Structures are given as structure tokens and as C-alpha cells.
Homo-oligomer: A and B are copies of this chain.
Amino acid sequence: MQTSTTPIVYVPEDSDFTIYNLPYGVFETSSLDKRLGVAIGEYVLDLREAATQGFLSSLSSEYFQGTDFNAIMGLDRRAWKALRSDIQDVVYGKTSESIKSHHSLLSKLFIPMHQVSMHLPAKIGDYTDFYSSKEHATNVGTMFRGADNALNPNWVHLPVGYHGRSSSIIISGQDIRRPCGQLKGNQEPSPHYGPTQALDFELEMAFFVGQGNSLFESIPAKTARDYIFGLVLMNDWSARDIQRWEYVPLGPFGAKNFATSISPWIVPLEALEPFRVPAPTQEPQVLEYLERGPDPTTFDIHLTVSIQSSSMRKPQLICESNFRYLYWTMEQQLAHHTVTGCNLRPGDLLASGTISGKSEKSFGSMLELSWGGSKPLKLEETQEQRVYLQDGDQVMMHGYCQKENIRIGFGSCHGKILPAKPLT
């Protein structure tokens, strides 16, 4: 059997979707109905077709007939590794002599990316948003409650989180309608109704749960890694004025449930392994169920946010952050989520919370970047100013890992702000 060390489709050097990545997504084209795929270079490998050709023999072909990854997520790490290995063989042309020589087969398997439209990769049963960046929590706490009450006493003992809204999770590229709701200025005696004047993004990452746990069972942080399937970028759109008025005492609600965008390609945990780095030191020591083991790790994922107003010809970078800044790890989030016995299901989504670092340039929201409106951002190309997002603004998030010659990326999570519906 011939083997090859280069993929059988062209992969640009700076691609997010190198052979080291192989992320999972759900796509359709004008001629192919919704199905599972893997991104490679500027192509999407059609997993249903690959299974039909007998190339994905580690799993029954039934797993590739559906329109979401939930069933595959429900398997275990061994099965995920075997599938990934099958896919690597296809991409390297190792599965069959005929792939390389038969153009018709090649073009059935690999669909040019510009022909596909993407869908949510899973049925998301429940979505949870954490609040795991110490810098972000401190920044927001300072602005909402003052510096003295910025970080609540519980914050260093547990990964604070809340249940989000799964129905309004949408795929990157879908436009965002500016929400209306209750607004109340500090000087106003009572709230009024209107479009938010403080529409914001939140730079986050989120992971899909693989295997779930039974109700009343819990998963300690030390074994939680096996329950993580893979990661995406997330923009947790937020209306700060609505949030400020509504969130005490039960947390954010309408301010965040109108839309949450995710990038379409799930980067499997396996692909991230080369980019493990030490996780932040935690002080005070955590309780046993949250313990991370002797050499706790997280991932070195470079994250950026760019913004482009309707007058601009190209986006401007406004934030550079990194997943590794997060104080609480994914394993700790998962452990805390299940500590009281809450059951997670394959396809559930757990988000990091806004990822801010120490420097002002690394703040992951307009709220922080403009420091509550006191330091407007300047858009260089047009000399416009921004405190919060304006109609027509596009927000683009990107993420990538790079180590020597190995590079993997998360693609893009972007969305454009549409004007609020006219008041009736």
C-alpha cells in the first residue's frame, strides 16, 4: 500500500484546518442535504460519503447518517481516537489506492468550503456559561459593584456559572438583531422600554460534552477530561443596560438570551494536545472535587477580536487574549457542574465566560475595553468612536494554536448587528 505524508487535498500553510486539526462540523450544500463533515484546508470531507465508501470502519455507518454529532459525542475517547485515525487515513490517501487516482471519488469526498453552509454541530440540550476569568470578573465586578465588592468571596472557591439559553445559540455568520428591553438610568425613577444602548460582545470559548453522567452522579475534576469532546469559539452577545437592571438577584436573563454565536467547527481535544501549557496557580487551595492533580494544564490558544463598522473596508483588531489566562479549567467547570448530581448529556455546551487577561488590550468585551464607556475605542480607518456596538458593526473572533510547524485554528465566529425592530 502506498502511503503519503502530505494530504491528498491542498492545504495552505496558514490554514486553520491543517492535517493536525480535523475539526467536526455539520454542513449542507445546494446539492447535498445536511450532514457531518470534517474541515481540511479549503475543503470539507463528507463523512457520510466516506462511511459509505467503507473508509470509516471504526464506527458503524449509522453514526454518519444523522445531522448532528450527539451520537458520536456519546461514545468514549477510545472511539473518538479510532474515528480520528480513520479520518487521517482518508486525508492522507491511505485508505484506498483509488482515492488519489479517481477524481470522481475525490470530488465526492472533498467539497470546496466555499460551497458549504454550516449548521449547529449538535443538538444542545443545555448550555451553561461560566465566569472563569479572574481579570474579567474583577473588571465587571468593579464597574457593577465597585472595587471593594468586585470579586465575591465565593469566586476563588468555585467556578461561578449560570444556566444559559440553548434555543438561541446560533451559528457564526447569522446576523444579530439589536434587542429591546427594560432600561433604567441611574437617575430615572422607573424603567422604560427601548433598544439596548449598550450592546456588547463577550469573547469566550466553549466545549461540547462528550459522554454524559447519570443524574445524582458527579465527576471529580481529576477524571473530567474524558467527558470533553472538543472546543469552539463563542460570542456571548450581551446587552449591558438590560443586564444591569435585571440581574439582581437571580442572574442574567434577557440581557443574554437573545443570541449566542458559536464557530461551526469543533476542534477535538485530541488536536489540542500539542498545545498544553501549565494552568494558572490557584490560591487558596480548592476543595478535593476540584483538585487538578500535580501538574495542572490548560491550552495555549491565541484569541482575537476584530470589529468592522459599516463604513470601514477592513476589520480592526481590538482585543488579543488567550484561553490559558482562565483561572478555572474546563475539568473544574465540569466537576463543579456535576458536584450536586446534575446530569450532563452528550452535546451539552459549557462556556468559559469572557476571556480577559491582565493587559487592557486583552479585555474580552466592550464593557472592559471602553471601561464602562469612559474610554471610547477609536476605529482608526474612519475615526469613528465606539463605547458599545452600533448597528452595522461586525464582530469577528478568531482563535489559533501554533507551536513550531504545527498550527491549528478555530475558524471564525462572527456576526453583524442589525437595527432593532421599529417600536410599534
Contacts and interface: CB of A to CB of B under 8 A. Distances in A.
Contacts of A337: 254, 257
Contact of A340 (B163, B239, B339): B239
Contacts of A363: none
10 smallest CB-CB distances across A and B, nearest first, come from A251-B251, A179-B340, A177-B216, A162-B250, A254-B340, A163-B163, A257-B342, A258-B341, A250-B251, A258-B340
Contact of A339 (B131, B181, B215, B343): B181
Interface of A: 125-126, 131, 141, 144-145, 152, 154, 157-158, 160-168, 170, 177, 179-182, 184, 190-193, 196, 215-216, 218, 239, 242, 245-255, 257-259, 284, 287-289, 336-337, 339-345, 348, 421
Given A182-B287, A191-B157, A249-B247, A216 B345 contact: no
17 contacts: A125-B166, A126-B167, A145-B249, A157-B182, A160-B246, A160-B253, A162-B163, A163-B253, A167-B344, A177-B215, A179-B340, A180-B340, A180-B341, A181-B340, A193-B288, A196-B340, A259-B341
Nearest to A423: B288
B250 A249 contact: no
Nearest to A161: B253
Given A168-B343, A252-B250, A340-B181, A257 B163 contact: yes
Contacts of A218: 180
Contacts of A141: 249
